[in-house]
Amino acid sequence: MDRWRTVDRIFRRAIARPDGPDREQCLTDECGPDTSLRSEVEALLSAREQAESFLEEVVTREAEAVLETKDRALIGMRLGPYQIEREIGAGGGSRVYLGRRVDAEFELDVAIKVIRRGMDSDELLARFRNERRILASLVHPGIARIFDGGSTPDGRPYFVMEFVDGLPIDQYCNRERLGVRKRVELLVRACEAVDFAHRNLIVHRDLKPANLLVDREGQPKLLDFGIAKLLDPNPTLEAEVTRSFARPMSPGYASPEQFRGESLTTASDVYSLGVILYELLTGARPFPVASGTVSEIERVVCEQRPARPSTVVLRVPDSTREGLASGLGLEPRQLSRVLRGDLDWIAARALEKDARDRYRSARDLARDLEAFLQHEPVRAGPPSALYRFRKLVERKPRTIVATICAVFLMLSSLAVITRLYFDARRAEQISVERYRQMRDMIGDLLFEIHDGVASLPGATPVRRQLVSRALEHLATLRVDAATLSAEADPDLLYQLGHAYRRIGDVQGHPGGPNLGDTRGALESYEEAIRALREFCAMRPDDLAGLTSLTEVIDRAGELLHVGGRLEAAEARFAEAESLRRDALVRSPESRALRAGQARSHNRFALIAALRGRSEESVRRYREAIGIEDRLLEENSDDPPLERARAVDWMSLATVLAELGRVDEALAAFECSLGLFEDQRRRRPADVQIRRDFAVDCGRYVQVLLTRDRFDDALRWTEKAEALNHEILRDDPQNADVRRQLALGAQRRGSILLHRNELEAAIGAFESAVDDSSALATADPENFGLRRDL
């Protein structure tokens, strides 16, 4: 009995001390060397702790069960026009339910996020309000939209957002058995959504596959901005959120600076995207951890460098490796070769320990991934000339071979021509027929190879090289043409004029894909005009030559107009119209001349609008449309004329809007948009139609804004941006579509400003200024680009 009293006395004294050194010292003082006594007391202490833990677990479990039962009571409840159907997710202090709009306005499935009962602390409420505020500022096809918000009958806040019926990006890729290229394409689209958030000064801080769902259409959707951070926040709100959630993160995807509790920037999201990229490519995380504890993950993430994806893919389970390879039909080692190089470098750059060494933005990461897809050099790769040449060969092997052969043949041909010419001059035995044959061979090579290159997506860099080479050889032919007598070879002058016109189109014609070289294009057009004038002087009755001359004079006028030289442009247009009028007297049924007459009306309408003669502009556009209607009634299979008619309707609508005749303008826009939509449906691969359609959407938006139709304006802006991004994805160096994207960002800023979304509007305007400045710097002769700024 005395023994039990002693054990009880020491036990009670020990539990009065805090667990740790104080309690250990108490046991040492009371028990002394009696180890048996100490063991009995420690056994009682251990039993007490287990009992308390058990009771606490029971109480917590019962409390959660009660709260969950009450949360289930929301199912079937109506919140505003939405009825809660079932729970679809929970975590982070909130539950997400599937809801359905039931007010008979329209049918819509939504996701409703509600604070969990018992979790509505001040800190969690601040975090919830932060997420709602951020989602309201983000309108992007790659980000789940917010529709509504409010409070439940018992006072808990909720918000209603877009329901994404999809799978996490990694599960989607595995289910669809996507190959490497498809996975990279999918992540590029996710990067675009993240970059949009960054440009609106928002860092997500919790990017992971579970927050990147891919819907049934294959569109990635960014979700869960619950721990997102405003880079320029409301200080009170940010401090309130930060106090209780000092280091919110998902450890498997968190950056080193998140683990260290440092200030976060967009580079932290870039790191998380790098982890997702790594996982999509290899089926494994960059940092395998034995224990899986947060401290162990932190140590590995902050101290170890990840293995290269091309190495890891050989060590993952066979089922994962074969699933990755199946989309490309490659064996595992072949798959490793696909990952080796560009994708190894891109992943390593995104996963750098120091944020300053990573990609500066999600947009930069996306650009390198797009470069990989297009076989272009990636910025994360070595800057060697050999690497860049290898990428060029990978990108366009047939084109490179064809170009090299073409250049070789042209140079060889020119050498032969030159030799024959000088031999003939010295011997006075020049063979005009031999020269003509060689000339025709060079012309055919030049045009056929350029057309083959121009039809390929993303052909701008190769076209630039071919244009440079072609100009050198055309200059030589120009000298030869001047040396020969008029009777010897007038056809060479026609071919020279035709060639210079086509090269001018590639260099800078504003009506299509071009290299952004306005000055070079104008010089090429002037060379074409000189050659064709000489040809027409030799053959005044040649209708094809006269038609080509009027077309290239019009093109020169268009470039003068773009450069702000309106008087010179009008003089060119008048010259072309006069030549057409004289030719129509001789050939009134010529379809080419009548179509050219419509173009003349179009050009004069443009100048009249710029000079304030709006009524004259309207009359000219209507005359152009009338001629085009009659020609298409005679023969409807004329794609260039169909496009010209749609463009004239768009231009007419623009002038009517400037005159304040908004109803007429809207009707004209509906006509032009309908024509472009029909042409796009019939010719989906036509890049020019996509470009014109995007321009028309943008102009339509400007008129919608005058009627305060902001939702419609935003919808058409997004359509224009989607069309332009399609073109840019195929041809990243297309200067014309980059300008259209800059104008689109400017329109988006105006819409957001009208909707009082100031931060998002500022981000859109800054993007427009940055892009327009870069374009104006690259092409200083383009007055339109300076006007955009």
pLDDT tens readout for residues 149-191:
888 888 888 889 889 989 999 999 888 888 888 999 999 999 9
Q: Measuring CA to CA, how many Å separate 436 from each of 238, 427, 488, 500?
A: 78, 19, 9, 19
What percent of the chain has a predicted confidence (pLDDT) above 90? 14
Q: Is 34 a catalytic residue?
A: no
pLDDT score of 562 more than 80: no
Question: What's the pLDDT at 242?
Answer: 39
pLDDT score of 432 more than 50: no
498 class by beta-carbon count within 10 Å (0-12 exposed, 13-18 middle, 19+ buried): buried
Of the listed 71, 195, 206, 788, which one is catalytic? 206
Report how far residue 93's alpha carbon sits from residue 114's, in angstroms, rounded to the nearest whole number. Answer: 9
pLDDT score of 243 more than 50: no
Which of these ranges, 13-22, 59-68, 683-692, has the smallest mean pLDDT? 59-68
Is residue 149 classed as helix, strand or coil in its secondary structure? strand
pLDDT score of 67 more than 80: no
Give per-residue pLDDT as tens, 310-354.
888 777 666 655 665 665 556 667 778 888 889 999 999 999 999
Give per-residue pLDDT as tens, 133-142.
777 778 888 9
pLDDT score of 486 more than 70: no
Average pLDDT over residues 106-118: 83
Structure tokens belonging to residue 27: 């046991």
Q: Measuring CA to CA, how many Å separate 456 from each of 449, 462, 685?
A: 12, 10, 11
Question: What's the pLDDT at 427?
Answer: 47
Question: What's the pLDDT at 622?
Answer: 93
Q: How do strand 157-162 and strand 94-101 relate by DSSP bridges? A: unpaired
Report how far residue 481's alpha carbon sits from residue 535's, in angstroms, rounded to the nearest whole number. Answer: 11
Q: What is the DSSP string of 509-568?
A: -TTS---S-HHHHHHHHHHHHHHHHHHHHH-TT-HHHHHHHHHHHHHHHHHHHHTT-HHH
pLDDT score of 365 more than 90: yes
Mean per-residue pLDDT over the chain, rounded:
77
Which of 594, 596, 552, 553 has its CA nearest to residue 571? 553
What is the pLDDT confidence band of residue 398, given thresholds at 50, 70 and 90? low
Three-class SS string for 490-521? HHHHHHHHHHHHHHHHHHHCCCCCCCCCHHHH
Report how far residue 296's alpha carbon sits from residue 251's, in angstroms, rounded to the nearest whole number. Answer: 10
What is the pLDDT confidence band of residue 730, given thresholds at 50, 70 and 90? confident
pLDDT score of 460 more than 50: yes
Predicted structure pTM score: 0.47
pLDDT score of 784 more than 90: no
Burial track 109-135 (b if 16+ CB lie within 10 A, e otherwise): ebbbbbbbbebbeeebbbbbbbbbbbb
Terminal Cα distance for the chain, rounded: 96
Average pLDDT over residues 358-382: 88
Average pLDDT over residues 485-501: 69
Region of 622 on the Ramachandran plot (φ > 0 left; ψ -120 to 50 alpha; else beta): alpha
Neighbouring-strand partners of residue 157: 151
